[in-house]
């Protein structure tokens, strides 16, 4: 259904575009009328989210300037996220960072190799 929506010809007749758009919206509505069984927990969660967000799913069909995907947005924030991952500890609270600092602070300063378990044979 999403692929069909992305394939609608923008250069064609407006009546044809409107008919295709209406058909896609009706197909979505028909799918959302039948909820999945609750024993399929992940599918049921997905279904609830689709029902909640159905007004936003095909925004690109109604507003010409909205792209059908968010690739440009993800590319725009990628560099920031990569820097965050390399510069900041992942999911570590301040306490974890302080513990690591404290462990390194207790190492002997005179001979750093003395902590390695090396045996000469």
**pLDDT value, residue 4:** 80
Structure tokens that stand for 45 in this block: 């969660």
Distance CA 59, CA 115 (A): 61
Structure tokens that stand for 107 in this block: 């190492």
Distance CA 121, CA 118 (A): 10
Tell me the average pLDDT across 15-37. 88
Asked if residues 45 and 33 have their Cβ atoms less than 8 Å apart, the reply is: no
pLDDT digits (tens, 9 = 90+) for 76-111: 888 888 888 888 766 655 555 555 555 555 555 555
- Residue 116 is given by DSSP the state S
Q: Is the pTM of this model over 0.75?
A: no
Asked if residues 10 and 64 have their Cβ atoms less than 8 Å apart, the reply is: yes
18 band by pLDDT with thresholds 50, 70 and 90: confident
Domain extent listing, the chain? 1-69, 70-101
């Amino acid at each position: 259904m999403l692929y069909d929506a992305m394939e609608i010809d923008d250069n064609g007749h407006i009546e044809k575009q409107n008919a295709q758009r209406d058909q896609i919206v009706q197909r979505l509505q028909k799918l959302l009328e039948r909820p999945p069984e609750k024993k399929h927990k992940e599918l049921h969660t997905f279904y609830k989210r689709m029902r909640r967000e159905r007004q936003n799913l095909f925004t690109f069909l109604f507003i010409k300037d909205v792209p059908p995907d968010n690739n440009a947005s993800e590319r725009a924030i990628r560099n920031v996220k990569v820097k965050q991952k390399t510069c900041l500890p992942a999911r570590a609270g301040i306490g974890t960072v302080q513990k690591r600092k404290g462990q390194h602070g207790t190492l002997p300063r005179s001979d750093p190799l003395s902590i390695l378990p090396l045996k000469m044979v």
